[in-house]
């Protein structure tokens, strides 16, 4: 996992911090949520001393998830939150070559439409989860009809986010080998970048903004 000379920088330290803050809180919320929702997952409360504590962990993790979501939206909305037409539509038509063989997959920027869909699902339904969760926790004097709507909305958000997260973890590890490096070390190989985000790679090179591992050191040594 240690970056090697010639690797390309794809994420900075703040992005990685926000990613793992978001990812860890999101996974805890999913597990504790499942533990409360289904009898067959009630056992998840046992190590915490019961379902009451499971609920406490869920609610307070929600409070930690909210700022992570805020920073995630701030960092990624430009690159992962806006579809670029017609390129993205062309990519969607061939499912990015993920489902059947495609000779020439249309080029994408930093994030492909699948990743954009994931980001948007997390952003939109994440906000919905935080809002509905807070209203259920602190109904204050809100109309009871409104508060009751928060329960099915919260469950709907879970139904959307959970499968997306499973696919994201699969693609980030086994599905597209070399991706996890981006979010653990900040660096990816050139061949990975050429395949996964060729448009971004070209743009960065043209603008002279590409950071390559080991190159600065070399310059410093020569200087």
Q: Is 200 in the site for ligand HEM (CB under 6 A)?
A: no
Identify whether the C-beta of residue 160 lies closer than 8 Å to the C-beta of residue 125.
yes
Which is closer to ligand HEM, CB of 26 or CB of 150? 26
User: Does residue 189 belong to the site contacting ligand HEM (CB under 6 A)?
Assistant: no
Phi, psi of 59 (to 5 degrees): -65, -45
Kindly state whether residue 33 participates in binding ligand HEM, applying the rule CB under 6 A.
no
Q: How far is the CB of 183 from ligand HEM (least distance, A)?
A: 4
Tell whether residue 187 is a contact of ligand HEM (CB under 6 A).
no
The distance of Cα 156 from the centroid of its chain, to the nearest Å, equals 19
Q: Determine how many CB atoms are found less than 10 A away from the CB of residue 84.
A: 13
Distance CA(220)–CA(89), nearest Å, equals 44
DSSP notation for 38-64? -GGGGGGGGGGTSHHHHHHHHHHHHHH
183 sits near ligand HEM (criterion: CB under 6 A): yes
Question: Mask: binding to ligand HEM, 142-181, rule CB under 6 A, as x and -?
Answer: -----------------------x--xx--xx-----xx-
Nearer to ligand HEM, 10 or 132 (CB): 10
Q: Is position 8 an interface residue for ligand HEM (rule: CB under 6 A)?
A: no
Q: How far is CA 130 from CA 7, 26, 52, 144, 165, in A?
A: 38, 11, 20, 18, 17
Of 85, 105, 89, nearest to 97 by C-alpha is: 105
Single residue of 80, 129, 201, 210 touching ligand HEM by CB under 6 A: 80
Site size toward ligand HEM (CB under 6 A) is 24
Where do contacts with ligand HEM occur on this chain (CB under 6 A)? 10-11, 19, 22-23, 26-27, 72, 76, 80, 111, 115, 118-119, 122, 165, 168-169, 172-173, 179-180, 182-183
């Amino acid at each position: 996992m240690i970056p090697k000379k010639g690797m390309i920088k794809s994420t900075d330290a703040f992005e990685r911090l926000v990613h793992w803050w978001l990812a860890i809180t999101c996974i805890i919320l999913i597990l504790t949520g499942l533990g409360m929702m289904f009898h067959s997952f009630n056992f998840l409360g046992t190590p915490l001393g019961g379902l009451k504590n499971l609920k406490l962990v869920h609610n307070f993790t929600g409070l930690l998830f909210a700022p992570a979501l805020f920073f995630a939206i701030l960092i990624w909305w430009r690159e992962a939150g806006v579809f670029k037409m017609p390129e993205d539509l062309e990519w969607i038509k061939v499912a990015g070559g993920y489902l059947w063989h495609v000779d020439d997959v249309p080029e994408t920027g930093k994030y492909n439409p699948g990743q954009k869909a994931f980001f948007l699902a997390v952003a939109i339904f994440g906000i919905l989860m935080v809002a509905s969760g807070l209203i259920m926790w602190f109904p204050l004097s809100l109309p009871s009809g409104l508060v009751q709507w928060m329960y099915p909305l919260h469950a709907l958000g879970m139904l959307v986010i959970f499968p997306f997260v499973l696919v994201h973890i699969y693609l980030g590890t086994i599905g597209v080998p070399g991706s996890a490096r981006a979010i653990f070390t900040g660096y990816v190989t050139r061949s990975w970048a050429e395949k996964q985000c060729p448009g971004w790679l070209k743009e960065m090179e043209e603008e002279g903004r590409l950071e390559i591992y080991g190159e600065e050191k070399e310059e410093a040594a020569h200087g």
